[in-house]
Amino acid sequence: MNRSTDSLLALADDALRTMFSHPPATRQLPRPALPDGPMSEAQRRQAGALMRVNHVGEVCAQALYSAQAAATRDPGLREHFLEASREETDHLAWTRHRLKELGARPSLLNPLWFAGAFGLGLVAGRLGDRISLGFVAETERQVEAHLDSHLDRLPPPDQSSRAIVNQMKADEARHAAHAIDAGGVDLPAPAKAMMRLAARVMTTVAHRI
């Protein structure tokens, strides 16, 4: 079996694990300082929808990092992407766990989200390492802003979801900073706008489906 075949099999395994299995976290689930309060059914549905969107974001993160790791020829940068992917796996596990606690389900369109994000990551990777890193930095900045908005929209009694989102936000900010430190370039304004539009479509649909 040659290296290309091995890589394809590894990517296929990553995709299946991301979408259909329950990958374990390497870090402890973030716990709130205050206990959850009672939630109405409407509040529970709102929290579940928001955490479903966050879970989709982590499915996309796995796809992006896997594609960018596959595209780069720099072994050190490949390890950088894979390490970030491993940390994002914690987010994937945490959001999946919280969905179950809230009685909510993951998005039915996760295979579509994964495929789209993988394609974007592959294109970014093929444009060169500095652009690929800049794409990571901009993605993480937009995700950080998105998570910040969720902190405002989560029902006040849902302290458990809030603790998870706060830790995810801190991790995303660190990933963006690391990408810039590694040589990422600032993307042009039209590219940033297109990324925001794509993210808006994804979050709107995933909130419901």
In a domain, 56, yes or no: yes
Measured in residues, the chain has a length of 209
Distance between CA 42 and CA 55 in Å, rounded?
Answer: 20
Q: Which amino acid is at 16?
A: L
Burial class, 23, CB count within 10 angstroms (exposed 0-12 / middle 13-18 / buried 19+)? middle
pLDDT at 209: 84
Identify the weakest region by mean pLDDT among 3-7, 103-107, 135-139: 3-7
Count Cβ atoms below 10 Å from residue 133 Cβ, excluding itself. Answer: 26
In a domain, 17, yes or no: no
Q: Find tokens 């458990």 and name the residue.
A: 160
For residue range 153-177, what is the model confidence (pLDDT) as tens digits? 999 999 999 999 999 999 989 888 9
In a domain, 12, yes or no: no
Average pLDDT, integer, range 170-187? 88
Structural domain boundaries, residue 174: 39-206
- Rg for the chain (alpha carbons), in Å? 17
Q: Which CATH number does the domain housing residue 105 bear? A: 1.20.1260.10
At 7, the pLDDT band (50, 70, 90 cuts) reads: very low
In a domain, 26, yes or no: no
In a domain, 75, yes or no: yes
Question: Interhelix angle for 159-181 vs 75-102, to 10°?
Answer: 170
Q: Which amino acid is at 102?
A: L
In a domain, 23, yes or no: no
In a domain, 6, yes or no: no
In a domain, 181, yes or no: yes
- Total domain count, the chain: 1
- In the DSSP assignment, the letter for residue 26 is S
Distance between CA 209 and CA 128 in Å, rounded?
Answer: 35
